[in-house]
């Protein structure tokens, strides 16, 4: 567990599948993301579509274009960062006026 926390702290970005939790944590921590959803997993394709709308790099596959996409991604300086720490109180306030 400690290794995982340290890795999140020192990493500037992450290459991950199209699940929900890892991209959400990366966005909250302001880390760059490349998402490559697992083929045939509808939920991951939907998550990747949502990530793309946020401006996050999503790939359908790793192909001959990957090196240029990767190097461009490495040079990105302003990753998306969204503070989710107040989302539960905001949701409750919205639901229970």
* pTM for the predicted model, two decimal places: 0.80
Q: Tell me the per-residue pLDDT of 19-38, one tens digit each, with 9 for 90 and over.
A: 999 999 999 999 999 999 99
Q: How many domains does the chain have?
A: 1
Containing structural domain, residue 70: 2-95
13 Cβ contact list (under 8 Å, min separation 6): 26, 31, 32, 33, 34, 73, 74, 76, 79
- What is the per-residue pLDDT for 2? 52
- What is the per-residue pLDDT for 80? 92
Neighbours of 75 (CB within 10 A): 8
Task: Work out the mean pLDDT of the chain and round it to a whole number.
Answer: 90
């Amino acid at each position: 567990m400690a290794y995982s926390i340290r890795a999140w702290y020192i990493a500037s970005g992450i290459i991950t599948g199209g699940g929900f939790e890892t991209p959400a944590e990366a966005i909250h921590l302001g880390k760059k993301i490349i998402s490559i959803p697992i083929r045939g997993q509808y939920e991951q394709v939907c998550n990747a579509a949502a990530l793309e709308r946020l401006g996050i790099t999503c790939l359908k596959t790793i192909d001959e274009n990957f090196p240029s996409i990767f190097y461009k991604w490495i040079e990105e300086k302003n990753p998306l960062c969204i503070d989710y720490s107040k989302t539960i109180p905001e949701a409750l306030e919205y639901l229970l006026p």
